[in-house]
Structure 1
């Protein structure tokens, strides 16, 4: 059980997370929704300890996450894997090596720097890629893959950490609809098959309703809704997003912007190759 007890985080005069108390039973698939600046990303970073809470406690079983330092903190970050919107792969390295980097939290630093991984890690990385239908790309450079493929590599890397919890920060915000579906299908399969708790920030309510057992709505740093997809009424949506709900839930607008972004990125890669 993961618990947040009256957790608060400030950035200067901005109250990013405001006295949030939540509990996450093992094995749930949870979507966190809200407008930009609602505190969604900060919430995940507090759980992973990429940011420290100003007050309150984060508890996992008998572990007080907020007090961890050094080796114990690195072990927690391995156990609580993070997936980012921008993938955070090492572009010049091949896909298999990127996946094996997921072991860095529990492996000696020097061998990792020289890409010397145990055979067991190589086997497990290949199995993770096969599971995500990417084994045939194992020896390609990471930057030759599409955005959706790169995000699935990031998921495979997270699996190498043998996590109890996966935190996904806007994992499909920059992807086209097909790749977004593949990424969300992968996260749901991992949640169902491995019984790993998955907590993901999502830009659209449609994705949260389709994939999550539970939805948490945030506004101005506070939790304003915590319930099932069936309980997400129009009134609840307005409470989360205010009166201007269309841009926040418009799947077509999101897809169009993602397609434009993908086209720009492709043009940039072609220009870089030509230079």
Structure 2
């Protein structure tokens, strides 16, 4: 279980994350919602240790994440895969190589840098691409793919790390509704089939309602809601988004997802940590 205890992160006089305490049970798919600047991205960066923990503790099992450094920190970042809004692929390399780069956290660095991958790595990368319906694009340059395809390549790369957790920071923010659905479908399938915990920052609450069993709402660095989608009342939404409530709804995304997701994730019964 991933545990956050009174985690606070300051940047100068700004408190980006303010005394956040959360538990994430294994196998959960959690959507983190809130306005821009609410602290969502900083929260994920603290968990992955792309930012150092200021105050409080982050613990995974017996591991004090905030105290890790060197080889142990690299191992944690492999175990806790990160997916970014801007994909972070190497455009000049082919898709298969981009996926195999996911091995850099768990394999010797020099062979990976020189693209000396084992036959097992190549086979696993091909399997990951096949799962995401991208095997036919394996030898294309990454920059020839659409944004949605590139994001699915990034997910395949994360799978190469054999993670226990996947952190996705606004993975569909720059995508059209169809590609957003494909990316969220992929994340949910991985969550359910592989029992991998997925924590996903989402700009709109529609995607969180459709795909996540649990939603965490943040405002001004604090957690102001933690519950199931059907517990999101209008007053809670107002508390999370304030005057930007209308911006939290993307009707085109909702209609696209509704066509393939008639039963909201919140209707499924799943234990929620508080």
- Indicate whether 1:191 and 2:201 are aligned: no
CA apart distance, 1:253 = 9.4
Q: Report how many aligned residue pairs link the two structures.
A: 255
In structure 1, stretches of 5+ residues that fail to align are: 256-275
Question: For residues 221 and 251 of structure 2, what CA distance do their matches in structure 1 show?
Answer: 24
Q: What is the match of residue 181 of structure 2?
A: 181
Question: For residues 197 and 254 of structure 2, what CA distance do their matches in structure 1 show?
Answer: 26
Q: What is the match of residue 63 of structure 2?
A: 63
RMSD of aligned Cα (Å): 1.3
CA apart distance, 1:113 = 1.4
- Indicate whether 1:140 and 2:140 are aligned: yes
* SS in structure 1 at match of 2:82: strand
Q: What is the match of residue 226 of structure 1?
A: 226
CA apart distance, 1:252 = 4.3
Question: For residues 254 and 235 of structure 1, what CA distance do their matches in structure 2 show?
Answer: 21
Question: For residues 254 and 203 of structure 1, what CA distance do their matches in structure 2 show?
Answer: 13
Q: What is the match of residue 45 of structure 2?
A: 45
- 2:35–2:244 CA contact under 8 A, matched in 1: no
Question: For residues 254 and 12 of structure 2, what CA distance do their matches in structure 1 show?
Answer: 31
Question: For residues 36 and 27 of structure 2, what CA distance do their matches in structure 1 show?
Answer: 27
Moved more, 103-112 or 168-177: 103-112
- 1:173–1:254 CA contact under 8 A, matched in 2: no
CA apart distance, 1:55 = 0.5
Moved more, 111-120 or 25-34: 111-120
- 2:218–2:225 CA contact under 8 A, matched in 1: yes
Q: Deviations over 1:84-137 (max 9, x none)?
A: 000000000000000000000111111111100011000000000000000000
TM-score, L = length of structure 1? 0.91
Q: What is the match of residue 268 of structure 1?
A: none
